């Protein structure tokens, strides 16, 4: 295992950008919740305190990933994948459902979201599998076997149901396979198959009840899209069709972002958030708070940090010293890019609401922990690009 002297090999500019996003997230979470009503034992001030605690824990995870190195960690991809799968199965049995999806396991005041760790498990397993087959990744059989790695957690996540996380896992798969050199027609066939499966899930509620009582039918019934999910996926086309229901969040989000104009209302001076017009303003709709308080210039500055992180991450993927490092970096960057685009897109009504947090900024310990561990792996790939220091 590399010693602490190797920390000088860190991409400190990239580290500074990610740390700046994390600190910025603490500020925006405090702004979004400072006058919130207490939920259970969590007082308004406790949101930022809990997130700060998660940040410290996540930084420990980051440095462990850096010091252990990506190749030693990748050797454990099998047990990690099995553990993540077991957690996904467990959450279907004992999980909590605070927002409509049974996605959480309660642990003494903290909530753990196993689907977040499934993303990291897929990145590791997919990279390890494809790295051993870089010469044959253009073959359809290899592509299908790689797809199986992603399909298992996707099916379990859909059973929660958590459509957004399922899409993230598929985005990771596409990003890694594309960089590995998979043929466009194979990726296209998978995309067409995914769209066909989506159409089936959309229409499963039309099957006769007798068919849904069979063993296969029960599995299909669990995978079908719920009515609220359908509303989320269609209401962005016309939020005014249900302004007090499914369209309420995105309408209020657009009002908040638009009211910020060029310079914003000022930090801690938002009205949409403070008066609780925006639901989930500390998590899924944190970008709305940024837009209202800091305006167009504040949003642009934050996006510039994200673009810098993505650019450096992509450069690490292209300069990696081996296929494993390149594929790991590709999967991590794909995850972060997809999260960011979808989160901001749903805040400005360009994409359906899927419940994906904004990486490093939104409130949520599980997502922050996984994001920083993944970032540690990305930094490890960068640190080992020139010489063998394992």
Residue 40 has what pLDDT? Answer: 46
Q: How far apart are the first and last CA of the chain?
A: 6
Helix 184-203, helix 140-158: angle, nearest 10:
30
**3-class DSSP state of 42:** strand
Is the distance from CB of 252 to CB of 277 less than 8 angstroms? yes
Coil/strand/helix, residue 111:
strand
DSSP 3-state of 345: helix
Q: Which residue has the tokens 């553990």?
A: 83
- Encoding tokens for residue 209? 């009840």
Tell me what the mean pLDDT of segment 38-60 comes to: 78
pLDDT digits (tens, 9 = 90+) for 65-81: 998 999 999 999 999 99
pLDDT of 219-260, one tens digit each?
555 566 667 667 777 777 777 777 777 677 788 888 888 888
Radius of gyration of the chain (CA): 21
Comparing 6-10, 98-102, 318-322, the range with the smallest average pLDDT is 98-102
Is pTM, for the whole model, over 0.85?
yes
Alpha carbons 284 and 269: distance in angstroms, whole number: 20
Output the pLDDT for position 310. Answer: 96
Query: Within its chain, how far is the Cα of 125 from the centroid?
Result: 17
Confidence of residue 301 (pLDDT cuts 50, 70, 90): very high
CA dihedral 142, 116, 16, 384 (to 10 degrees): -30
What mean pLDDT value characterizes the chain?
A: 83
The SS3 call for residue 285 is: coil
Q: What is the mean pLDDT of residues 380-384?
A: 90
pLDDT-derived band at 217, boundaries 50, 70, 90: low
Return d(Cα 129, Cα 390) in angstroms, integer: 21
- For the chain, which residues make up each domain, given as ranges? 4-383
- Taking only the tens place, the pLDDT of each residue in 164-195 is 888 899 999 998 898 888 888 888 888 888 88
Distance CA 175, CA 333 (A): 8
Evaluate if residue 104 carries a pLDDT over 80. no
């Amino acid at each position: 295992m590399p010693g602490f002297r190797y920390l000088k090999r860190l991409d400190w500019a990239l580290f500074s950008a990610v740390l700046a996003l994390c600190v910025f997230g603490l500020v925006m979470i405090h702004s979004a919740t400072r006058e919130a009503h207490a939920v259970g034992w969590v007082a308004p001030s406790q949101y930022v305190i809990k997130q700060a605690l998660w940040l410290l824990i996540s930084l420990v995870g980051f440095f462990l990933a850096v010091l252990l190195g990506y190749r030693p960690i990748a050797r454990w991809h099998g047990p990690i994948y099995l553990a993540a799968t077991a957690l996904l199965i467990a959450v279907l049995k004992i999980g909590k459902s605070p927002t409509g999806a049974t996605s959480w396991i309660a642990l003494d005041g903290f909530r753990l979201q196993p689907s977040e760790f499934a993303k990291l498990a897929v990145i590791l397993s997919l990279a390890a599998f494809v790295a051993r087959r870089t010469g044959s990744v253009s073959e359809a059989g290899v592509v299908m076997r790689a797809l199986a790695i992603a399909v298992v957690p996707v099916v379990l996540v859909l059973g929660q149901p958590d459509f957004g996380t399922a899409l993230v896992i598929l985005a990771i798969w596409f990003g890694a396979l594309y960089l590995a050199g998979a043929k466009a027609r194979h990726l296209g066939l998978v995309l067409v198959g995914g769209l066909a499966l989506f159409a089936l899930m959309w229409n499963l509620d039309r099957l006769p009840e007798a068919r849904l009582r069979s063993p296969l039918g029960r599995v299909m019934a669990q995978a079908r899209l719920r009515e609220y999910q359908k509303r989320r996926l269609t209401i962005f086309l016309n939020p005014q069709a249900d302004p007090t229901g499914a369209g309420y969040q995105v309408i209020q989000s657009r009002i908040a972002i638009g009211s910020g104009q060029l310079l914003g209302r000022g930090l801690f001076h938002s009205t949409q958030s403070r008066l609780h017009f925006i639901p989930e303003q500390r998590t899924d709709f944190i970008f709305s708070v940024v837009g209202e308080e800091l305006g167009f210039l504040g949003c642009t500055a934050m996006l510039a940090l994200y673009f810098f992180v993505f650019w450096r991450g992509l450069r690490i993927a292209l300069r990696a010293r081996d296929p494993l490092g390149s594929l790991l970096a590709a999967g991590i960057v794909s995850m972060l890019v997809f999260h960011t685009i979808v989160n901001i897109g749903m805040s400005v009504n360009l994409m359906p609401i899927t419940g994906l947090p904004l990486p490093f900024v939104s409130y949520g310990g599980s997502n922050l922990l996984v994001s920083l561990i993944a970032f540690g792996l990305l930094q490890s790939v960068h640190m080992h690009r020139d010489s063998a220091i394992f």
